[in-house]
């Protein structure tokens, strides 16, 4: 198995050359005072060392040992506590956090790079900082000053960790039917009761306190999603002087045996009159939780991309080492019994497909990070509003498209290994098992697609879509005459036109067919994702082309050639996706129950 090595050159290329993030930071005063290119580079360098040297080596062992549950306590795999402590010591939990409460306040265009390295090195362990960072975001955005002062500093430092408690045995997608209850108490707190399942890192031995963010209903709450409130429920109550007090009234009833991410604990949490505090307003908990969920959704998209990067690193090395059969054009290694796998067109197809999606996906997550930065730090109201719209539109694409392709690329990586991909030794089967969950949790990908098509596109009557289409059209306009982009601009424009056409068609259909958005949603997400990646590859061509001359490493010429592969071999899928969407909902909806 090739050991994971943080792809620092790739990351620097995307962050600095493709998106010129340092200029973006310098243009926004609130960021300019916090981050400069040297600081950002030192952070990337250090993140590379920690993830490559400390966290990645535990990935295999974590999978084999898994977490152990005993009488309510969860013991993590060997080495996890120490590695978590390294994350705490480096302040990584608070990298993007609010500096008023101990966070480092770094821009998302930088934070996404750390997140990719962390998740690629060890997805099971990486979930702990990811959930904590999301919890901090929700608390910072919606909590009272008193709650923020009491909890945020220790969450940002990682001395305490956070978890997100939504799912119940009978409800996952449809949280409106949840049964957990919160009863107001005289002292201003709430008494929380109910059972939550599938709670990632709900219990463990790596942090001294675990702060649960629990959704529950007040006794007189309206029915459905409008009657849900969000509560902060600490494992150990926190005294006014900040010291830890008595154990709160909830416990971990068991942990799940599962397909992958075995190094992480997936917990059943039983709340039995636990003391909790309201975050935000009563009955507005789902909106508050969405702050956390949106953060996690991009984070989960990055997990998909990260698993595919780890798989690609191994597959590429294997394809050059393993010898099997001769090249169709004659022996490449006449001195050896056979040629390396990489001479075979189909193996090259697999590697280049992986490279296309991984590198395109990295650029796309940075693109979303860029809009998150503008939305958070710009002083211009109109810029902020536009960026918020783009983030809302792009988040479900990042979650669903990057995880669907991320999982697919892990399977492709496994295929490069033939039978050796199916056995433990090479690590590919673990990546396939680990990556699978990214398509399911944080809102299954079908729900992400529905969010994109139904809520974001149809719900805004196409206005949010236009923000993306205008941005891409402006790029095409600006780059007219760029010789390096000559082979790419026409297919890029055609892909945008295709996407705009079907967008309009679904908007029209949905006025008299309520099933139209749902029927189109999965194909639409794929079509959107492919068009967005075509945009990303065109941006990478713009950044790479001037650097090809004089570069003997092949890094920049490889970018131009991969762009061509993406445009010629992968982007044409948009034609069939558009055709499929145009057929409407009838073929999905006409079966009577007994015809299934």
Ligand X SMILES: Cc1cc2nc3c(=O)[nH]c(=O)nc-3n(C[C@H](O)[C@H](O)[C@H](O)COP(=O)(O)OP(=O)(O)OC[C@H]3O[C@@H](n4cnc5c(N)ncnc54)[C@H](O)[C@@H]3O)c2cc1C
**CB atoms closer than 10 angstroms to residue 185:** 12
The answer to whether 159 touches 108, Cβ cutoff 8 Å, is no
Strands (E), 33-152: 68-70, 73-75
* Residue placing its CB nearer to ligand X in the complex, 166 or 192: 166
Looking only at residues 323 through 382 of this chain, which bind ligand X when binding is defined by CB under 6 A?
Answer: none
**CB atoms closer than 10 angstroms to residue 25:** 24
Residue 433 as a binder of ligand X (CB under 6 A): the answer is no
Looking only at residues 263 through 302 of this chain, which bind ligand X when binding is defined by CB under 6 A?
Answer: 266
Among 9, 68, 86, 173, binds ligand X (CB under 6 A): 173
Among 110, 397, 437, 527, binds ligand X (CB under 6 A): 437
Q: Which residues touch 512 (CB under 8 Å, ≥6 apart)?
A: none
* Residue placing its CB nearer to ligand X in the complex, 8 or 444: 444
The region of 194-202, 223-231, 236-244, 500-508 touching ligand X under the rule CB under 6 A is: 194-202
* Nearest to 45, CA basis, from 119, 97, 114, 111: 114
CB of 533 to ligand X, least distance (A): 23
User: Residue 75 pairs with which residues in a beta bridge?
Assistant: 68
* Residue placing its CB nearer to ligand X in the complex, 259 or 490: 259
* Nearest to 574, CA basis, from 543, 528, 512, 541: 528
Residue 307 as a binder of ligand X (CB under 6 A): the answer is no
The region of 29-37, 158-166, 324-332, 425-433 touching ligand X under the rule CB under 6 A is: 158-166
* Residue placing its CB nearer to ligand X in the complex, 310 or 437: 437
Dihedral of alpha carbons 306, 309, 314, 315, sign: positive
* Residue placing its CB nearer to ligand X in the complex, 76 or 366: 76
* Residue placing its CB nearer to ligand X in the complex, 223 or 553: 223
Question: Is 64 an active-site residue?
Answer: no
Could you identify the residue written with the tokens 């084999």?
A: 64
Residues present in the chain in total:
596
- What tokens appear for 15 in the block? 């962050």
The region of 46-54, 424-432, 435-443, 454-462 touching ligand X under the rule CB under 6 A is: 435-443
The answer to whether 163 touches 199, Cβ cutoff 8 Å, is yes
CB of 183 to ligand X, least distance (A): 21
The answer to whether 508 touches 532, Cβ cutoff 8 Å, is no
The answer to whether 296 touches 442, Cβ cutoff 8 Å, is yes
Q: What is the gyration radius of the CA atoms in the chain, in angstroms? A: 24
* Residue placing its CB nearer to ligand X in the complex, 107 or 162: 162
Among 119, 167, 283, 574, binds ligand X (CB under 6 A): 167
Output DSSP code: residue 166: -
**CB atoms closer than 10 angstroms to residue 433:** 17
The region of 193-201, 421-429, 461-469, 533-541 touching ligand X under the rule CB under 6 A is: 193-201
Catalytic residue among 10, 168, 309, 442: 442
The region of 140-148, 180-188, 242-250, 437-445 touching ligand X under the rule CB under 6 A is: 437-445
| Per-position x/- string for 250-269, each x denoting binding to ligand X as judged by CB under 6 A, each - no binding | --------x-------x---
**CB atoms closer than 10 angstroms to residue 188:** 8
Among 166, 269, 387, 492, binds ligand X (CB under 6 A): 166
The region of 3-11, 23-31, 434-442, 526-534 touching ligand X under the rule CB under 6 A is: 434-442
DSSP helix/strand/coil, 423: coil
* Residue placing its CB nearer to ligand X in the complex, 122 or 356: 122
- What tokens appear for 237 in the block? 């109550």
| Residue number of the CB atom closest to ligand X | 172
* Nearest to 452, CA basis, from 371, 523, 521: 521
CB of 506 to ligand X, least distance (A): 16
* Residue placing its CB nearer to ligand X in the complex, 74 or 450: 450
Output DSSP code: residue 56: G
The region of 150-158, 196-204, 270-278, 413-421 touching ligand X under the rule CB under 6 A is: 196-204
CB of 214 to ligand X, least distance (A): 9
Q: How many Å apart are CA 40 and CA 43, to the nearest integer?
A: 5
- What tokens appear for 316 in the block? 């590429």
Residue 558 as a binder of ligand X (CB under 6 A): the answer is no
Q: Total number of residues binding ligand X (CB under 6 A)? A: 20
Strands (E), 176-249: 181-184, 190-200, 209-216, 229-234, 236-238, 244-247
Looking only at residues 438 through 457 of this chain, which bind ligand X when binding is defined by CB under 6 A?
Answer: 440-444, 446-447, 450
Residue 74 as a binder of ligand X (CB under 6 A): the answer is no
User: Residue 272 pairs with which residues in a beta bridge?
Assistant: 193
Residue 172 as a binder of ligand X (CB under 6 A): the answer is yes
* Nearest to 497, CA basis, from 563, 574, 573: 574
Among 52, 113, 195, 200, binds ligand X (CB under 6 A): 200
- What tokens appear for 19 in the block? 């998106």
Among 19, 84, 114, 198, binds ligand X (CB under 6 A): 198
**Which residues of the chain form contacts with ligand X (CB under 6 A)?**
164-167, 172-173, 198-200, 258, 266, 437, 440-444, 446-447, 450
Q: Which residues are catalytic?
A: 442
């Amino acid at each position: 198995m090739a050991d994971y090595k943080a792809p620092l050159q790739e990351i620097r290329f995307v962050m600095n050359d493709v998106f010129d993030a340092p200029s973006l930071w310098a243009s926004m005063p609130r960021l300019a005072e916090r981050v400069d290119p040297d600081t950002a580079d030192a952070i990337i360098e250090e993140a590379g060392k920690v993830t490559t040297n400390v966290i990645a080596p535990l990935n295999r062992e974590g999978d084999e040992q898994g977490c152990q549950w005993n009488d309510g306590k969860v013991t993590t795999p060997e080495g996890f506590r120490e590695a978590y402590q390294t994350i705490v010591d480096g302040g990584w939990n608070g990298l993007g956090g609010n500096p008023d409460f101990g966070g480092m306040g770094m821009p998302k265009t930088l934070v996404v790079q750390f997140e990719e390295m962390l998740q690629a090195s060890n997805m099971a362990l990486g979930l702990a900082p990811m959930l904590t960072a999301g919890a901090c975001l929700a608390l910072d955005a919606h909590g009272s000053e008193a709650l923020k002062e009491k909890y945020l500093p220790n969450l940002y430092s990682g001395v305490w960790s956070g978890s997100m408690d939504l799912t119940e045995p009978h409800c996952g997608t449809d949280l409106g039917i949840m049964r957990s209850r919160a009863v107001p108490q005289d002292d201003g707190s709430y008494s929380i009761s109910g059972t939550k399942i599938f709670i990632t890192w709900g219990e463990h031995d790596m942090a001294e306190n675990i702060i649960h963010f629990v959704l529950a209903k007040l006794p007189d709450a309206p029915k459905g999603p409008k009657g849900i409130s969000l509560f902060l429920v600490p494992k150990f109550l926190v005294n006014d002087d900040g010291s830890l007090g008595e154990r709160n009234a909830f416990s971990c009833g068991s942990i799940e045996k599962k397909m992958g991410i075995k190094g992480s604990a997936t917990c059943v949490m039983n709340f039995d009159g636990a003391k909790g505090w309201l975050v935000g307003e009563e009955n507005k908990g789902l909106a508050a939780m969405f702050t956390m969920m949106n953060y996690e959704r991009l984070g989960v998209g990055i997990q998909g991309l990260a698993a595919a990067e780890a798989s690609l690193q191994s597959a590429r090395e294997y394809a050059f080492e393993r010898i099997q059969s001769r090249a169709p054009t004659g022996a490449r290694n006449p001195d050896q019994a056979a040629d390396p796998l990489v001479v075979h067109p189909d193996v090259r197809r697999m590697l280049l497909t992986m490279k296309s999606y991984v590198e395109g996906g990295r650029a796309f997550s940075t693109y979303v990070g860029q809009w998150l930065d503008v939305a958070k730090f710009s002083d211009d109201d109109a810029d902020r509003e536009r960026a918020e719209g783009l983030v809302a539109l792009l988040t479900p694409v990042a979650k669903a498209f990057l995880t669907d392709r991320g999982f697919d690329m892990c399977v492709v990586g496994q295929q490069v290994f033939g039978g050796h991909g199916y056995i433990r030794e090479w690590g590919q089967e673990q990546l396939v098992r680990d990556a699978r969950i990214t398509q399911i949790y944080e809102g299954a990908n079908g729900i992400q697609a529905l969010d994109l098509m139904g809520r974001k596109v149809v719900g805004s009557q196409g206005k949010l879509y236009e923000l993306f289409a205008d941005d891409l059209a402006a790029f095409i306009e600006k780059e007219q005459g760029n010789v390096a982009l000559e082979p790419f601009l026409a297919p890029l424009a055609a892909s945008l036109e295709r996407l705009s056409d079907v967008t309009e068609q679904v908007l029209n259909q949905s006025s008299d067919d309520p099933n139209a958005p749902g029927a189109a949603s999965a194909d639409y997400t794929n079509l959107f994702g492919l068009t967005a990646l075509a945009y990303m590859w065109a941006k990478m061509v713009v950044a790479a082309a001037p650097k090809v001359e004089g570069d003997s490493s092949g890094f920049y010429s490889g970018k131009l050639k991969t762009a061509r592969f993406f445009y010629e071999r992968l982007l044409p899928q948009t034609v069939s996706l558009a055709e499929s969407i145009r057929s409407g909902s009838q073929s999905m909806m006409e079966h009577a129950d007994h015809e299934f």
